[in-house]
């Protein structure tokens, strides 16, 4: 599989916002990630694009055998076909004209050999030499990667019409993995949201994840990780089965969109520094396990792949080219992921007009780390969405919550013994009944009621935006739609063209964000101090709780020290490094003040 033409990728965003992003951006050489969790949404989008491009469509019904996997396979194959058609159209366009072919080359990074050759072509006279160069450049054009994402822990067991348990391979995550594995794609599987050993073992059943005799992998594995230890543990587990992690994708715990998997006070620069210092271990410790596996099954590991090493990439809160350069040049990351800003690029993501208006006008206080996810994981959310209003209205009726039409998040068995989604009508009614019969105070009941009644039907509401944007469903502002940007959304305030955003990423032309925007490292410190403040009010102050808070505070303090040392370095162009010291010191003082509200002195927590 060839390396990327660009130094960035567009990560998965929600269920629907990047559902068709490869169709939009891959013909321009840009890689993006599709969530393949929701096969119901996928089937509707497949029908839409089949009709749009006059490609035969045959419905795969929900109850047909292995429908979940087949829907994924067919959609991914369709996306690949459409991209091939669009690529051929662009390749057929002439040079020396302002068209999509020119746009393809102009968006490439300046140091790209392909762009350097293109710039030379533009200076040539229209002769035989330029004709040969044109043909060569056209033959070298290739699309971005169609990567897919699976949330590893969203792996509900499924049953047939008679209530009989289906085989383990029909669980939600394994079914969509099989759908990807059987597709024609030559791309990456991105595993996120935790380590699912059963799912990782299942990957071993598909030959595309192993190297061929030439040393090539048709399908690669990317793991989204929050720390080095997790990367090594997951990497070793896969390596013992001969499976290679081609990319470790590091994401900020809180300065991101969607579900936020907060670290225990480890800030992103500290994590990146650990990867920088130890990344050779990801080859030294994993490669021998992989080679031993190949030997154990009577195969020789390809000589061409012996020196290949996993990529280290990073995403979460990046907002300027200077910050991206800090991550690649100072910490040695191979590339960066830019998510939230692309929600404002209609050429790249599938966002309906109402949601787009909310995103454009979003201020810092409109983006919150909420408890609305039925997964019980903090969720970066935007206020005043139709999803929020719909959920609040339902909570005031005799039928709170959702009818749970998709059921992907039926993961809680605490009430009935059978899995229910915490955003569902069945769960919320049972929860209310239990609360009424409890001996808890009215104040405790009120707090608990507000907590479970705010859960949102993410399966439907995160998909409705895409369906609305493509006019597959009608209803405009009345349809409940959720959106999950990162805090960065406060600093991007209009629609942007794809070329504008790519130029911004590469530091070409005027920045799209104000020079007053705090550095991404500063923003992350503020987010973690706020999170720590919440922990102090929600965590039990027993020995275990105090121990956790002690480690959290120590890590946060150490991370702040490290960021202050970075602030002493020379800033990259467009990197707002000069404000880091004052901003971070203010947050450190805030951290100390917060600690003293619960404990007499900051040191008393550490001494506990």
pLDDT of residue 603: 46
Query: Mean pLDDT across the chain, nearest whole number?
Result: 93
The model's confidence at residue 433, banded by pLDDT at 50, 70 and 90, is confident
pLDDT of residue 482: 95
Q: How far is CA 469 from the centre of its chain?
A: 21
490 compared with 447, residue with greater pLDDT:
490
The model's confidence at residue 437, banded by pLDDT at 50, 70 and 90, is confident
> Does residue 2 surpass a pLDDT of 60?
no
Q: Give, in order, the Cα–Cα distances in Å from 540 to each of 522, 527, 548.
A: 29, 21, 10
pLDDT of residue 474: 85
> Does residue 501 surpass a pLDDT of 50?
yes
> Does residue 602 surpass a pLDDT of 90?
no
pLDDT of residue 608: 43
**pLDDT tens digits, 512-566:** 999 999 999 999 999 999 999 999 988 888 888 888 999 999 999 999 999 999 9
Question: H/E/C letters for each residue in 405-451?
Answer: CCCCCCCECCCCCCCECCCEHHHHHHHHHHHHHCCCCHHHHHHHHHH
> Does residue 413 surpass a pLDDT of 80?
no
Alpha carbons 440 and 438: distance in angstroms, whole number? 6
Question: Among 55-59, 166-170, 461-465, where is mean pLDDT lowest?
Answer: 166-170
Residues 6+ apart with CB under 8 A from 280: none
> Does residue 444 surpass a pLDDT of 60?
yes
The model's confidence at residue 458, banded by pLDDT at 50, 70 and 90, is very high
Place of tokens 């919440």: 534
pLDDT of residue 1: 42
pTM: 0.94
pLDDT of residue 160: 80
CB 267 within 8 A of CB 563: yes
Q: How many CB atoms lie within 10 A of CB 449?
A: 17
| Structure tokens given for 434 | 């239990």
CB 174 within 8 A of CB 199: yes
pLDDT of residue 436: 86
Sheet order of strands, 367-370 included: 258-259, 379-382, 367-370
CB 322 within 8 A of CB 511: no
CB 567 within 8 A of CB 584: yes
Domain edges within the chain: 352-482, 518-607
pLDDT of residue 155: 87
> Average pLDDT of 336-360?
97
Place of tokens 């009944």: 433
Q: How many CB atoms lie within 10 A of CB 600?
A: 9
pLDDT of residue 545: 85
The model's confidence at residue 607, banded by pLDDT at 50, 70 and 90, is very low
């Amino acid at each position: 599989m060839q390396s990327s033409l660009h130094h960035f990728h567009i990560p998965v965003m929600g269920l629907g916002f990047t559902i068709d992003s490869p169709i939009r951006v891959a013909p321009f050489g840009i890689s993006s990630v599709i969530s393949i969790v929701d096969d119901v949404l996928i089937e509707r989008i497949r029908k839409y694009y089949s009709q749009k491009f006059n490609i035969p469509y045959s419905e795969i019904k929900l109850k047909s055998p292995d429908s979940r996997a087949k829907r994924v396979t067919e959609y991914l194959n369709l996306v690949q076909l459409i991209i091939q058609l669009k690529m051929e159209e662009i390749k057929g366009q002439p040079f020396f004209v302002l068209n999509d072919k020119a746009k393809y080359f102009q968006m490439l990074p300046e140091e790209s050999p392909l762009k350097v050759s293109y710039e030379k072509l533009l200076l040539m006279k229209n002769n035989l030499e330029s004709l040969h160069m044109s043909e060569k450049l056209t033959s070298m054009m290739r699309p971005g990667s169609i990567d897919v994402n699976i949330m590893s822990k969203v792996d509900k067991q499924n049953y047939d019409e008679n209530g009989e348990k289906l085989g383990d391979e029909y669980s939600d995550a394994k079914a969509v993995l099989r759908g990807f594995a059987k597709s024609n794609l030559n791309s990456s599987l991105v595993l996120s949201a935790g380590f699912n050993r059963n799912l990782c073992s299942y990957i071993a059943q598909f030959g595309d994840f192993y190297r061929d005799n030439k040393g090539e992998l048709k399908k690669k594995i990317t793991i989204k990780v929050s720390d080095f230890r997790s990367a090594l543990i997951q990497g070793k587990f896969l390596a013992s089965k001969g499976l290679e992690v081609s990319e470790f994708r590091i994401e900020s715990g809180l300065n991101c969109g969607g579900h936020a998997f907060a670290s225990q006070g480890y800030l992103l620069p500290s994590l990146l520094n650990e990867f920088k210092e130890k990344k050779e271990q990801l080859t030294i410790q994993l490669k021998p396990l992989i080679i031993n596996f190949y030997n154990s099954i009577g195969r020789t590991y390809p000589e061409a792949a012996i020196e290949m090493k996993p990529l280290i990439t990073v995403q979460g809160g990046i907002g300027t080219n200077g910050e991206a350069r800090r991550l690649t040049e100072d910490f040695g990351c191979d590339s960066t992921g830019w998510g939230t800003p692309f929600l404002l690029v209609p050429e790249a993501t599938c966002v309906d007009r109402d949601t787009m208006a909310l995103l454009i006008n979003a201020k810092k206080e409109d983006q919150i780390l909420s408890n609305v996810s039925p997964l019980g994981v903090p969720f970066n959310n935007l206020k005043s969405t139709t999803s929020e209003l719909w959920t609040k209205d339902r909570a005031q009726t005799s039928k709170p919550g959702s009818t749970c039409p998709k059921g992907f998040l039926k993961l809680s068995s605490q009430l009935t013994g059978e899995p229910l989604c915490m955003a569902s009508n069945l769960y919320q009614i049972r929860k209310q009944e239990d609360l009424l019969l409890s001996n808890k105070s009215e104040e405790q009941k009120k707090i608990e009621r507000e907590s479970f009644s705010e859960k949102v039907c993410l399966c439907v509401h995160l998909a409705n935006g895409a369906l609305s944007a493509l006019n597959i469903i009608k209803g405009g502002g009345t349809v409940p739609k959720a959106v999950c940007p990162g805090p960065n959304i406060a600093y991007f305030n209009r629609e942007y063209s794809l070329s504008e955003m790519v130029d911004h990423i590469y530091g070409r032309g005027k920045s799209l964000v104000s020079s007053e925007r705090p550095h991404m490292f500063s923003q992350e410190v503020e987010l973690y101090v706020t999170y720590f403040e919440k922990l102090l009010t929600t965590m039990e102050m027993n020995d275990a709780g105090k121990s956790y808070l002690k480690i959290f505070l120590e890590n946060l303090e150490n991370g702040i020290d490290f960021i202050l040392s970075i602030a002493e370095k020379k800033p990259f162009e467009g990197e707002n490094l000069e404000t880091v010291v004052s901003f971070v010191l203010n947050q450190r003082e805030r951290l100390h003040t917060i600690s003293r509200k619960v404990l007499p002195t900051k040191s008393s927590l550490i001494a506990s």
